[in-house]
Amino acid sequence: MNRVYNFSAGPSQLPEEVLAQARDEMLNYNESGQSVMEMSHRSRFYEPIIEETEALVRELLGVSDDYYVLFLQGGATLQFSCIPLNLKRRGKAAYVDTGVWANKAWKEGGKFLQADCVASSADEKYRRIPEIPEIQGDYDYLHITMNNTIMGTKYSAIPCCGEVPLVADISSCILSEPLDVSRFALLYAGAQKNLAPAGVTLVVVKKDLCCGVGNAPLYLDYKIHAESGSMYNTPPCYTIYMMNLVLKWIRSNGGAAAMEKRNKEKADLLYNYLDSGDFFWAPVEKGSRSLMNVPFLIRNVEGDLEKELNKKFVSEAESHGLINLAGHRLAGGMRASIYNAMPLAGVEALIRFMEDFAKENRHKTRA
């Protein structure tokens, strides 16, 4: 069968070249006579994989020797707990509430220290990134979510927070565009958006923050993982191998700068269509729009008719090879996630379908 265009917010579409290489190496990696799935993480075949993956992360993200690069389990969600447990010094942290995952991080942080919400766009249904006041006081860190997968917003600039360490969840925007890592004390990303299948979480953390303050359970202690090279216990070996292949694909296609150009072309095409039409519209304010996740709604409908048309759209799109376009239950409507691996042709196919759908269903709306 033909491959579909997968607009899922995660796990997301992977580059076909990467899948083909993984297929070819499935039974016999590097003439080892075994799959990476079967390898001991201590073996002479596997250790070069994780070492090279770290080197690729450092190269593509621009990570200096002042930081540890860790490959952990538990998804980005586990980092909501790890971060306050490892970075707690004075017992007070600042959070910006820009969506579902940012809100969860804030609430989880509050279990371990005083977690102050210093800015929020919740009262506007998270349709923009709020203004962040000057961060003052004895905060252990400021936490932000760079790209909000569900609501489709992103920071257009890195917040300034003085001497307060800046922490960011970059799960759904990592390597979609260049990022100045030196501005951050800690970055973390679940892999299943732009890096690999689900199963590994990348953490980039300043070494001087991994001093073993004694507040974290053993497995949640960054120092333990740093000292063991992310091999305190068996790491998610195959997912790290897949990350290795994806990172090589990104490098061979020009790195983060080239990904940004590619992603802007896709996003501009879709947003321009949404802004110029009379059937669909994008609810996110222009200055806060994500390059990766594009929510959209149908104009002039509500209630049962809105639900009916949304369901019809998703179902008919799937029959055209455009899958996973349903919006999150908290946001409604539809959502197209157009991560690095989504080709321009996928967005073009989506817009053609949207044009046809609008023609066939416009009479049902109040337009």
Q: Which residue has the tokens 């509500």?
A: 302
Q: Closest by alpha carbon to 160, among 176, 140, 126, 184?
A: 184
Q: State both tokens at 145.
A: 């979510």
Catalytic residue flag (residue 207): no
Question: What does the block give as tokens for 130?
Answer: 């709020």
Measured distance CA(84)–CA(199) in Å, rounded: 22
Q: Does the annotation mark 264 as catalytic?
A: no
Catalytic residue among 97, 101, 223, 266, which?
A: 101
Q: Minimal CA–CA distance to 217: which of 74, 67, 115, 54? A: 74
101 noted as active-site residue: yes
Q: Which of 88, 193, 223, 248 is catalytic?
A: 193
Catalytic, out of 106, 140, 154, 169:
169
- The residues that are catalytic are 101, 169, 193
